[in-house]
Chain A
Amino acid sequence: MNILVFAEQIDGSFKKSAFEAVSYASQIAQAHNGTVTAVVPGNVADDKLAELAKFGANKIVSIKHDNLNGFNAETYAKVICNTATAEGSSIVVISNTYSGKSVAPRVAARLKAGIASGVISMPNTSAGFVVRRGVFSGKAFADVNLTTTVKVLAITPNTFNTLENAQAVNIVNAEAGLADADFTTKSVEINRVTGKIPLTEAEIVISGGRGLKGPENWHLVEDLANALGAATACSKPVSDMHWRPHSEHVGQTGITIKPNLYIAIGISGAIQHLAGVSSSKVIVAINKDAEAPFFKAADYGIVGDAFEIMPKIIEAAKAFKAN
């Protein structure tokens, strides 16, 4: 059995999510006596490609092509599927990042494969091929049986550990087999936020709600985030009122996150908000209303005025960091 992993490069390097995907595939391979092939569209240097072998890739298929350096769902799907066919892969593993979410269904349709996205478990093959995924925006889990010969698994980033399982480095260059006309979208401009931790990758998230009374008070969120090396987030009303950008909105209709630590300041904990954060390992709620629903979902709580509480926590966090 061969398992194919799409390892996404960004500017010629891999992010942690790519190593997580290779590690995940490698664990399936070990359980089923299979091999792992990683496919990398775009130009990546050999020493970078070799990093994938460290996490268990037996073979690395590098598809160098200038036009593949930027992500394009259609052409990426084509080269991933061509590789899957050439390798005889029965499982395709893709990290469910924004790019992964775009390409995984296209791969599934091309391969006529059943697809599960947002996967949070290893496959259980005792009865069929069952994986667990989050549904109802974090309010529940579903166990999904994929009934096709070829299967596509889009795994949730930040869920599976990267596991070293070094293999001999075996890099193979393959032709993209694409014509200019295949590149149907054209990138005009890319703006990546630099110097800030992306919300979906953050291990600690500090989040503010209406209880903070206005955008001018966000230093309370940011100071704690800086002290703890955390990302910042907000509730829906806060982004609706444009106190903070919508990209910070976590919850059912915003981003679903699962950091190790989520600290909610002045957020009541409406069911829609909890849906987006309830998979966090540890939740701290700070709210002046002792009846706020967040206290039912939190591990730790402080009932009181955020403007009185936050300076004490920030001070303690700075002292902690200094040690």
Chain B
Amino acid sequence: MKILVCVSNVPDTTTKVTFTENNTQFNTAGVQFIINPYDELSLTRGLELTEKLGGTVTTITVGLADTEASIRKALAIGATDAVRINAVPTDAYFVAEQIAAYAKAENFDLIFTGRESIDYNGGQVCGLLAEMLGLPSVNVITSIEIDGTTATMERDIDGGREKLTANLPLVVSAQKELTEPRIPNMRGIMAARTKPLKVVEPVASELTSAAVGFELPAPKGSVKLISVEEAGSLISILHNEAKII
């Protein structure tokens, strides 16, 4: 079983988001970066599958050298080896093209992405990558089991859940509930230092989109407080004043 896990390097969830360069660049000053939480679930599920069925888990990240702390953490959690495509991940299309170019020659049985990255929230890499590789894709899976060359999964659908099967090779995106993330232990951290991290130069790619500016939501006016005694009046306020019910 040969598994590829796509790992995105994202700002920690507690980050207060600000922008620089006239609101065209995300301000990374003082920001702690982490493995995208959904990618961490992918990685852990990948490891659980290879522990049961044998095989390897490779991680792939599109990013500059500053992403290597997250990549080493993925190796500490248990990935066999890692690949870094040495480029700024400009948009999902670019990232998918880079990963597809690498994955094409490697014949992975199963490729995991996260449901979305928690920074740009596109949720596009799974579908883009699958289409570029000519593979089936299943988004937002909450479980996956492998039997021979068949994957049995559950996924979120609008208003419910579906159980489905697909043959490998396959691209999936991880939804919360897929598994519990694993915390690296000291042995893992030591081992990660010497695990292979291959740096690959990007393939040529045409620009398809560009972020031209960012904006923060308008600050809220101050809160109107209602006393506990008058709590019931909330309903009439929502009806008469806010006109929302």
Binding site for B on A (CB under 8 A): 10, 15, 71, 73-74, 77, 97-99, 101-106, 108-110, 112-118, 128, 130, 133-148, 184-193, 198, 200-201, 204, 228, 246-247, 249, 252-254, 256, 260-261, 270-272, 278-279, 281-285, 295-305, 308-309, 312-313, 315-317, 319-320
Contacts and interface: CB of A to CB of B under 8 A. Distances in A.
Interface of B: 11, 13-17, 19, 37-38, 92-93, 96, 118-128, 130-132, 136-140, 152, 155-167, 176-177, 207-217, 220-221, 223-228, 231-239, 242, 244-245
Contacts of A10: 158
A30 B140 CA distance: 35
Given A109-B96, A135-B121, A140 B226 contact: no
Contacts of B234: 284, 300, 302, 313, 316
> Closest 3 CB pairs between A and B?
A105-B127, A192-B160, A109-B131
Contact of A98 (B157, B224, B225): B157
B13 A108 contact: no
Contacts, number: 272
A284 B122 CA distance: 29
Contacts of A135: 119-121, 214
Nearest to B137: A73
B13 A253 contact: yes
A102 B127 contact: yes
B85 to A, nearest CB: 18
A185 B160 CA distance: 18
A247 B149 CA distance: 29
A108 B214 CA distance: 23
Nearest to B157: A98
A316 B233 contact: yes
A295 B137 contact: no
B242 A299 contact: yes
A192 B157 contact: yes
Max count, chain A CB within 10 A of own CB: residue among B93, B159, B228: B159
A295 B92 CA distance: 36
Scoring B162, B166, B235 by chain A CB atoms within 10 A of each residue's CB, the highest score goes to: B235
B91 to A, nearest CB: 8
A293 to B, nearest CB: 11
